[in-house]
A and B are shown apart, each in its own frame.
Chain A
Amino acid sequence: MRRMRFRAMGTDVELISDGGAEAEVWEALGAAEREIHRLEGLLSRFRDDSELSILNRERVVAAGPELVDVVALALAGRESTGGRFDPTVHDAVVAAGYDRSFDLIDRDAPGGHPVDPSCCGGSVRVDRAAGSISLAPGVRLDLGGIAKGYSADRVSGMLGEVAPCLVNIGGDLAVRGVPAQGAWAVAVETTAGTTSLSLESGAMATSGRDRRRWRRGGAEVHHVIDPRTACPADTDLVRATTVSSSAAWAEVLATAFLVVGADAAAREAEALGVPSVLVSEDETVFAGGLA
Chain B
Amino acid sequence: MTKTNHIGRVYAVVGALLVLFLAWAAIAAHPWQAAAVDPQVAALDAQRAQVRHDAAEAKRIVATRWAAYEARLAVRRHEISRAVHQRARAQRVFDRRLAVARAHRPVIVRTVYGSSGSGGGTPSYSGGGYSAPSGGSASAPSASAPVASAPPVVSVGAAAPVTASRSS
Contact = CB atoms under 8 A, between A and B. Distances in A.
Contact of A244 (B106, B109, B140, B158): B140
Contact of B150 (A195, A245, A256): A245
A135 B140 CA distance: 23
Q: For chain A, what secondary structure do more than half of its interface residues adopt (helix, strand, loop), or is it mixed?
A: mixed
Interface in A1-29: 1, 11-12, 14, 16, 21, 24
A275 B152 contact: yes
A62 interface: no
A76 B152 CA distance: 19
Interface stretch (A46-54, A92-100, A105-113, A149-157): A149-157
A166 B163 contact: yes
Interface in A140-175: 148, 150, 153-154, 156-157, 161, 166, 168, 170-174
A246 B156 contact: no
Interface residues of A, number: 105
Interface stretch (B47-55, B64-72, B111-119): B111-119
Interface in B76-120: 79, 83, 86-87, 90, 94, 105-114, 118-120
Contacts of A128: 105-109
B168 to A, nearest CB: 3
A291 B122 CA distance: 38
Interface string A56-70: 000000000000011
A172 B155 CA distance: 18
A153 B154 contact: no
B168 A194 contact: no
B154 to A, nearest CB: 5
A210 B167 CA distance: 7
Nearest to B163: A168
Contacts of B56: none
B164 to A, nearest CB: 4
Contacts of A14: 163
A289 B108 CA distance: 36
Interface string A75-86: 110111111101
Given A24-B83, A76-B133, A272-B136, A185 B162 contact: yes
B131 to A, nearest CB: 6
A248 B146 CA distance: 9
A126 B109 contact: yes
A202 B150 contact: yes
Contacts of A209: 167
A214 interface: no
B42 interface: no
Interface string B128-162: 11111100111111011111111111111111111
Interface of B: 79, 83, 86-87, 90, 94, 105-114, 118-126, 128-133, 136-141, 143-168
Given A14-B163, A184-B162, 12 more contacts: A79-B111, A80-B131, A125-B112, A128-B109, A156-B147, A161-B90, A181-B159, A183-B157, A197-B154, A198-B159, A244-B140, A260-B128
